[in-house]
Amino acid sequence: MSSPEPVHSDACLPFSLEGRDIRGRIVRLDDTLNRILETHKLPEAISRELGEIMVMTAMLGSMLKYEGILTVQIRGDGAVSFLVADFATAGEGSGVIRACAQYDPEKWTAPEEITLTGLMGKGHMLITIDQGKFMDRYQGIVALEGETLSEAAVEYFHSSEQLPSRVRIVCERTAEGRWQGAAIMIQHLARNTDLERIRNREDAPEADDWQNACVLMDSVTDKELLDETLSLQDLLFRLFHEGGVRVFDPVPLTNGCRCSEDKLRQVLANFNADDLKDMAEDGVITMTCEFCKTDHIFELKKLFN
121 φψ region: left (φ > 0), alpha (ψ -120 to 50), beta (else): left
Percent of the chain with pLDDT over 70: 91
pLDDT higher than 90, residue 70: yes
How confident is the model at residue 193, as a pLDDT?
A: 47
pLDDT higher than 90, residue 58: yes
CB-CB contact of 1 with 233 (8 Å): yes
For the domain 11-255, what is the CATH superfamily, name and number?
Hsp33 domain (3.55.30.10)
Residue 303: pLDDT band (50, 70, 90) is: confident
pLDDT higher than 60, residue 144: yes
Residue 165: pLDDT band (50, 70, 90) is: very high
Angle of helix 149-160 versus helix 44-61 axis, rounded to 10: 30
Domain ranges of the chain: 11-255, 261-303
CB-CB contact of 235 with 223 (8 Å): no
For 192-205, the pLDDT digits (tens) are 445 454 445 554 55
How confident is the model at residue 68, as a pLDDT?
A: 92
How confident is the model at residue 112, as a pLDDT?
A: 65
Cα 175 from Cα 155, distance rounded (Å): 33
Residue 3: pLDDT band (50, 70, 90) is: very low
pLDDT higher than 50, residue 301: yes
More reliable by pLDDT, 304 or 209: 209
CB-CB contact of 120 with 78 (8 Å): yes
How confident is the model at residue 197, as a pLDDT?
A: 46
95-105: average pLDDT: 94
Percent of the chain with pLDDT over 90: 57
